[in-house]
Amino acid sequence: MKSKQSILIVDDEKIVRESLYHWFIEEGYNVDTAEDAEAALKIIEKGKYELMLVDMKMPGMSGLELLDKVKEIDKDTIFILITAFASVPTAIKALKNGAYDYITKPIDPDELAHIVEKAIHQKELRQENEQLKDNINEIIKPDNLIGESRQMLKIFDLINTVAQTDTTVMIRGESGTGKELVAKAIHINSKRKYFPIVTVNCGALAESLLESELFGHEKGAFTGAHYKRKGKFEMADGGTIFLDEIGTVSPKMQIELLRVIESKQFMRVGGNENIKSDFRVIAATNEPLENLLKEGKFREDLYYRLNVFTIFIPPLRERRDDIPILAYYFMNKFNAAMNRNIKNISNEAMDFLVNYSWPGNVRELENAIERALVVGRGDSIKIEDLPFHVTPNNRLDDEGDKSLESVEKRHIMNVLELNNWNISKSAEALQIDRVTLYNKINKYGFRKS
């Protein structure tokens, strides 16, 4: 490791330069020398040095003056001053100006070697920490938020704009379009990125459970509360809380939500302690909240409190240019996960993917590609590998039934077949509860084939 580190020794005394030169060469460093500050600056123009050992007092420019100039060129250069007279004021000035340390003459080689080794080690740790931060940013980046269409480029621009603020965001779009991915993208590009993003699916919980989920509860607050539990708002302190399916929240909970969003304070269920939490709110809905407002099912004050900055994610059928990019992304993703080596998607299969209506949006496309890799044979995805076939019943062509009920019916059946009629997985994919799914199955008279 040391052989990769370079040191520049600057001292007007030849014997000091040479003795230090030979010492650090033997220690495994790359070493150059300069007789004064001017000569050192000329050498620095040709290349950077990890560390410089500089005499405090030299003819012409002093060591402190050289320190100022070097820091302008490369602020990361480690600077150690050598002085014949240990002066406290001078040492303090040197350290304030950016010197790492200083050592007095006569020089103890072992002491100096220890200081140099410690300084270089600290620099390496700092660089590793910076690299780790970069890696963390890369790891937590939402992987499915992909697209090059005009609509997606606009969404990326909106994400970049709002992420720099603490503004409340409302994300709108059909189920499966990637609303949670957009929320995560906003979070990881914000100043809150090193704190958690906490997700709450408001539509999956009954009112009593949602209250405990959001605000937490004290031990004994209700039957089954055997211990104290933190709520999602408390867990999101410093970070972001993502309220998905906000349109399903009951009127009573809407009042509670409005209060906590405005005050950033709340009490646990069964508690009397006022808890403060610094969180950012991102909400999402696949329902037209304006209709709920007219029907009196959603509070107007909460609507305006949440709807400060809106991002609308278009359905996949309105950005068909992104379908090939997403399809190949998912193919490569599941190739790695399943240890497969599917190399491409046939022209016929791709034509179908691009022209299909995708009522389940990106989530449905991902599931379709996953299924194709499971059942497919050979080195390409063929149309028969997809979980549906090109028939009028499965496509919204000019003569097909375009009613909402018909689209829902086809989509639910596709999801059930894709998940081999696993009700839990299908309900999760559809973002509805199991009871609702059973009701839909009975309504449409579905039977497992």
* pLDDT exceeds 60 at position 48: yes
Instruction: Identify the H or E element spanning 116.
Output: helix 109-139
Confidence band, pLDDT 50/70/90 cuts, at residue 135: low
CATH fit for domain 150-314, picks 3.40.50.2300, 1.10.150.120, 3.50.30.60, 3.40.50.300:
3.40.50.300
Q: Which residue has the tokens 């001078």?
A: 90
Confidence band, pLDDT 50/70/90 cuts, at residue 315: very high
pLDDT of the residue at 294: 92
* pLDDT exceeds 50 at position 50: yes
pLDDT of the residue at 446: 79
pLDDT tens digits for range 378-414: 889 998 888 764 333 444 444 455 567 777 888 888 8
Burial class for 360, CB neighbours closer than 10 Å (0-12, 13-18, 19+): buried
pLDDT tens digits for range 191-248: 999 999 999 999 888 887 888 889 988 887 777 777 888 899 999 999 999 999 999 9
Contact 77, 50 (CB under 8 A): yes
pLDDT of the residue at 444: 80
pLDDT of the residue at 328: 94
* pLDDT exceeds 60 at position 299: yes
Contact 245, 284 (CB under 8 A): yes
Q: What percent of the chain shows pLDDT beyond 70?
A: 91
pLDDT tens digits for range 324-359: 999 999 999 999 999 988 999 999 899 889 988 898
CATH no., domain 317-444: 1.10.8.60
What are the domain boundaries of the chain? 2-137, 150-314, 317-444
Confidence band, pLDDT 50/70/90 cuts, at residue 5: confident
Per mean pLDDT, which range of 58-67, 136-145, 364-373, 429-438 is the poorest?
A: 136-145
pLDDT tens digits for range 259-270: 999 999 998 888
- d(CA 200, CA 198) in angstroms, rounded, equals 7
pLDDT of the residue at 197: 95
Higher pLDDT, 105 or 342: 342
Question: CA 302, 305, 310, 313 torsion: positive or negative?
Answer: negative
Per mean pLDDT, which range of 252-261, 314-323, 376-385 is the poorest?
A: 376-385
Contact 380, 342 (CB under 8 A): yes
Question: CA 435, 441, 442, 447 torsion: positive or negative?
Answer: negative
Higher pLDDT, 431 or 292: 292
Question: CA 372, 378, 381, 387 torsion: positive or negative?
Answer: negative
The one-letter amino acid code at 354 reads V
* pLDDT exceeds 90 at position 318: yes
Contact 399, 392 (CB under 8 A): yes
pLDDT of the residue at 388: 60
Q: Whole-structure pTM over 0.75, yes or no?
A: no
pLDDT tens digits for range 6-39: 999 999 989 989 999 999 998 889 999 999 999 9
**Alpha helices by DSSP H, 268-322:** 289-294, 300-306
* Mean of per-residue pLDDT scores for the chain: 86
> Using alpha carbons only, what angle is made at residue 129 by residues 240 and 131, rounded to the nearest 5 degrees?
85
- Structure tokens of 231? 């709520």
CATH no., domain 2-137: 3.40.50.2300
pLDDT of the residue at 132: 66
